[in-house]
Chains A and B, each alone.
Chain A
Amino acid sequence: GAGVSQTPSNKVTEKGKYVELRCDPISGHTALYWYRQSLGQGPEFLIYFQGTGAADDSGLPNDRFFAVRPEGSVSTLKIQRTERGDSAVYLCASSLNGDSSYEQYFGPGTRLTVT
């Protein structure tokens, strides 16, 4: 079956602009996660959804970052007033539910470059 997909694969934007990054999880997966990976680092947690609600948004760096999952499937990560430090690969993952028994399956990521 189809895996996790993310669009766009690459996004270049100017400092101060608004961007949206999209994630389509594996069908039937109720848990969805966003991570951010800077060059040479491992991914860092941003936010976790169980169904439509954000169960844990403790990883969002500041209030410029926001994410939604209105119908419990597709999720959008929104970044306002982008800064050069936001440049990274944004990864989305999904799992069957939030239970520890289940693996998280990752998408290919969106590479965001803020100029």
Chain B
Amino acid sequence: KQEVTQIPAALSVPEGENLVLNCSFTDSAIYNLQWLRQDPGKGLTSLLLIQSSQREQTSGRLNASLDKSSGRSTLYIAASQPGDSATYLCAVYLGNEKLTFGTGTRLTIIP
């Protein structure tokens, strides 16, 4: 059974700092990996989708990397802003039509 772990569970950093969120998964036979953010009381917003054949994806200040063989992905956020405060979830897709999610990292950016 695929297990997805996110470390740390919570993180607080001063505004302007760069930061890295970690995601690890036990079954390396994934089709893709998705990073999403969740704001309190709101749904999930997809941030980046990395296909299994890709190493990284970039969108603005966000960069996600994928190392399938080691079962790891990282989400790098540059020049953090208070608006980045949210819970960040990673999810893997095994090709069986469903995403398997981690428990998330709750990020707080301190102004």
A-side residues, CB < 8 A to B, are: 4, 6, 31, 33, 35, 40-45, 48, 50, 55-56, 59, 91, 93, 98, 100-101, 103-109
Contact = CB atoms under 8 A, between A and B. Distances in A.
B44 A91 contact: yes
Interface string B1-26: 00010000000000000000000000
Interface in B66-98: 89, 91, 93, 95-98
A48 B101 CA distance: 15
Contacts of B36: 106
A100 B101 contact: no
A31 B93 CA distance: 14
Contacts of A103: 34, 46, 49
A31 B102 contact: no
Which of under 10, 10 to 19, 20 to 34, or 35 or more describes the interface residues of B? 20 to 34
Given A91-B44, A103-B46, A103-B49, A48 B34 contact: no
A111 to B, nearest CB: 8
B43 A100 contact: no
Given A100-B32, A100-B51, A108-B42, A45 B100 contact: yes
Contacts of B101: 35, 42-44
B89 to A, nearest CB: 6
Contacts of A109: 42-43
Contact of A100 (B4, B93, B100, B103): B93
